[in-house]
Amino acid sequence: MNNKKKYIVLFALFIVPLLFYIFLQIGTHNFGKLPVITKEVIDVSHVNDQYKFKDKISVVAFIGNDVKNSEGEIFNLNEKIYKKFYGYKDFQIIVFSLKNEEAKVEKLKKKLSLYTNMVKWNFLFATKEEITAIYESFKTLSSLDTNLHSSKAFIIDRDNGLRRGKSTINGQKDVKLFGYNMKSIAELKNDMIDDVKVVFAEYNLALKKNNSDERRKKSISNEKN
């Protein structure tokens, strides 16, 4: 093998993996910057024990008894967020509606299901007190309206933590997002998609690191034996 080929082989074996490692470290740094602003929000299991925030990445919305007027927001969320992530393991959307609104919600679900796989859409019915308690546990800077509705969608991580984003939209740059405006296609598309990706990437990188550490421990243990 001549010197040129030898250097190419050495580059492929040693330098490329090193560059890839550096890239991962940069990625880990960038993906670790979506702040947790509220830890341990009240879990959805307190309303319905068939569902949970724990160990899931959840997008949460509140439509209360304002189902009809919330349709546009839910359709925006469906098109820009749900269809992007419903294939991801452990992703879910939880929508809180007031009890006795079942018939209206069923109509909404039928409209969505015409062109959407509804497997990760979850509409839950709760009392005014339950909805208010869960929303207030988020500790955001806003409140539900008189219909127990909010135009914001929220990201809850696997540890029941509410995440906060930062706007990238011109004229709103550096505005802190305690929730994402479902009326704004730009905010969902430009900010919320990226922030959900960050949360997934953060956990994937942590999982890879844990697996790597576990393999290293086993290797050391085998060497000692």
pLDDT digits (tens, 9 = 90+) for 155-186: 999 999 999 988 887 667 678 899 999 999 99
Greater confidence, 8 or 189? Answer: 189
Percent of the chain with pLDDT over 70: 75
CB of 148 closer than 8 Å to CB of 98: yes
Helix (H/G/I), strand (E/B), else coil: 67: helix
So what's the pLDDT on residue 141? Answer: 85
Q: Give the per-residue pLDDT at 18.
A: 46
Strands 162-163 and 36-38: antiparallel
CATH of 36-207, one of 3.30.70.60, 3.40.50.1000, 3.40.1110.10, 3.40.30.10: 3.40.30.10
CA-closest candidate to residue 188, choices 64, 112, 50, 79: 79
Is residue 108 within 8 A of residue 95, CB to CB? The reply is no
The residues spanned by each domain of the chain are: 1-31, 36-207
In angstroms, how far is CA 116 from the centroid of its own chain?
19
Does the pTM of the predicted model rise above 0.85? no
